[in-house]
């Protein structure tokens, strides 16, 4: 026998075995085999092919009764699809300035101490100003002389003895002397460093006698009655957070402490480097226990819609997608299509035509057909909503801080 004849014989044998198994174990195939003229000869040779209607009818006609199906059911709950953003941010003072001198010179005195509270306009430090004080005295004398000359010209003018040129020269000299005095006083004030805002004085490293320039940092002044926290969110959350939305902040050094605040500002554009948007939160610090530079764990609740919450065992699949078996008023089941929105630890949030409290089947689903009558052995209460999903983002400016949560 040639190779091709052996191959054909093997194929025919396999086909015969497959058709025989199909007829023996799948009664739904009998109509097809009958039309092909194969069912009768197969029974004639003694193959154990069951008659239609005497046993398993897998894949047969739809359910038409046959008794109630024992199942375990559960009520549908309702929960929010919202999530929670967690980010690490760094705090800074609500208002902060670094004081330096407008001119170079020698530090004459320091009027405050480290840690003092000062009001806006208070004197902080002075530079040596003897030359400027002398300039002010000379300008005052020049102004007095110009004023006296202007008064004498004014008397002569009333008697008609002064010319217009004399009058103009006297007024010009008086104005020039006034401006010279203002300039001298301005130069004197530049040697006095005052606080532009109210706040707390930082550490002072300079002493009287030190030489300072316009780039020398004299002291830092912080108004920390409120703290601003800079943090970031991924670009996919842009539009879900707005100014004045609530936030919770916990210092990394004291994780059990939670401070309520708000979103105070949102950046105008997304950073193209890390695809994140910078946000600014604000928290109160009236008791002055917190300091700028501290790291905070910032939590923001994101909005969501109320959706049905079901047990994951209730979700079944067919060629059209996911569904659950729901009971109607007559204890009959029907398919209800669902769209999975969010998977949680022990529950699934779905979008479906399911009202809270409606009963769905969670166990015994393999024996159900559309319209089947069921007899629940147990109806479990609705599942409890779990904690919302947390989305964690590590801020770029705190990369050296330990982070125990995965990055997005």
Q: What is the pLDDT of residue 68?
A: 81
Cβ within 8 Å of residue 280, ≥6 positions away: 228, 229, 230, 263, 264, 265, 266
Exposed/middle/buried for 66, CB within 10 Å: 0-12, 13-18, 19+?
A: exposed
- Per the model's pLDDT, the better-predicted residue between 354 and 22 turns out to be 354
Q: What is the pLDDT of residue 13?
A: 73
Chain segment 112-125, per-residue pLDDT in tens? 999 899 999 899 99
pLDDT category of residue 233 using cuts at 50, 70 and 90:
confident
Give mean pLDDT, residues 185-202. 91
Of 254-268, 337-351, 373-387, give the lowest mean pLDDT range.
373-387
pLDDT category of residue 382 using cuts at 50, 70 and 90:
confident
Average model confidence (pLDDT) across the chain? 82
User: What does pTM read for this prediction?
Assistant: 0.57
pLDDT category of residue 391 using cuts at 50, 70 and 90:
low
- Per the model's pLDDT, the better-predicted residue between 251 and 45 turns out to be 251
Q: What is the pLDDT of residue 47?
A: 64
Look up residue 391 and give its two tokens: 């989305």
Chain segment 298-344, per-residue pLDDT in tens? 998 887 778 899 999 999 998 889 999 999 888 899 999 999 988 87
Report percent pLDDT > 70 for the chain.
82
pLDDT category of residue 406 using cuts at 50, 70 and 90:
very low
- Separation in Å, CA 346 to CA 303, 313, 356: 22, 10, 18
Q: What is the pLDDT of residue 397?
A: 40
Q: Which CATH architecture has domain 86-93+224-303+393-398?
A: Beta Barrel (2.40)
Domain ranges of the chain: 1-61, 69-81+305-389, 86-93+224-303+393-398, 129-190
The dotted CATH code for 69-81+305-389 is 2.40.420.20
Give mean pLDDT, residues 275-300. 91
pLDDT category of residue 393 using cuts at 50, 70 and 90:
low
Chain segment 46-99, per-residue pLDDT in tens? 666 665 443 333 344 444 445 688 899 999 998 877 777 888 999 999 999 999
Q: What is the pLDDT of residue 349?
A: 87
Q: Largest Cα–Cα distance of the chain, in whole Å? A: 154
Q: What is the pLDDT of residue 157?
A: 76
Q: Is the model's pLDDT at 408 over the cut of 50?
A: no
- Per the model's pLDDT, the better-predicted residue between 317 and 401 turns out to be 317
Q: Is the model's pLDDT at 39 over the cut of 60?
A: yes
Chain segment 320-329, per-residue pLDDT in tens? 899 999 998 8
Give mean pLDDT, residues 246-254. 91
The dotted CATH code for 129-190 is 1.10.287
Chain segment 168-189, per-residue pLDDT in tens? 888 899 999 999 999 999 999 9
Look up residue 95 and give its two tokens: 């208002």
Q: What is the pLDDT of residue 354?
A: 92
């Amino acid at each position: 026998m040639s190779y091709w004849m052996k191959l054909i014989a093997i194929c025919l044998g396999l086909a015969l075995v497959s058709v025989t198994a199909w007829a023996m174990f799948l009664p739904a195939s009998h109509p097809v085999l009958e039309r092909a003229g194969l069912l009768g000869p197969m029974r004639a040779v003694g193959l154990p092919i069951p008659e239609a209607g005497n046993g398993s009818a897998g894949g047969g006609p739809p359910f038409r009764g046959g008794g109630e199906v024992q199942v375990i059911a559960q009520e549908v709950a309702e929960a929010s699809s919202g999530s929670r953003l967690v980010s690490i941010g760094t705090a800074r003072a609500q208002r902060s300035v670094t004081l330096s001198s407008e001119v170079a010179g020698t530090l004459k005195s320091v009027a405050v101490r480290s840690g003092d509270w000062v009001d806006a306009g208070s004197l902080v430090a002075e530079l040596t100003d003897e030359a400027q004080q002398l300039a002010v005295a000379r300008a005052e004398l020049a102004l007095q002389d110009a004023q006296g000359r202007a008064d004498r010209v004014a008397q002569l003018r009333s008697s008609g003895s002064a010319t217009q040129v004399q009058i103009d020269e006297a007024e010009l000299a008086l104005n020039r002397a006034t401006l010279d005095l203002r300039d001298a006083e301005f130069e004197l004030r530049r040697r006095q460093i005052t606080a532009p805002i109210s706040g707390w004085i930082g550490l002072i490293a300079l002493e009287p006698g030190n030489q300072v320039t316009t780039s020398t940092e004299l002291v830092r002044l912080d108004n920390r009655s409120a703290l601003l926290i800079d943090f970031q969110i991924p670009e996919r959350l842009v539009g879900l957070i707005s100014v004045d939305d609530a936030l919770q902040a916990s210092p990394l050094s004291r994780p059990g402490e939670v401070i309520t605040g708000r979103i105070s500002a949102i950046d105008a554009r997304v950073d193209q480097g890390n695809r994140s948007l910078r946000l600014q939160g604000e928290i109160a610090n009236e008791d002055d226990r917190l300091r700028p530079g501290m790291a905070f764990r910032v939590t923001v609740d994101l909005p969501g819609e109320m959706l049905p919450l079901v047990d994951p065992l209730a979700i079944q699949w067919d060629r059209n997608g996911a569904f659950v078996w729901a009971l109607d008023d007559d204890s009959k089941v029907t398919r209800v299509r669902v769209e999975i929105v969010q998977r949680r630890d022990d529950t699934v949030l779905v979008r479906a035509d399911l009202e809270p409290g409606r009963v769905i089947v969670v166990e015994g689903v393999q024996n159900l057909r559309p319209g089947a009558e069921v007899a629940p052995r147990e109806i479990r209460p609705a599942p409890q909503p779990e904690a919302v999903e947390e989305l964690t983002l590590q801020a770029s400016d705190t990369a050296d801080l330990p982070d125990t949560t995965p990055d997005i």
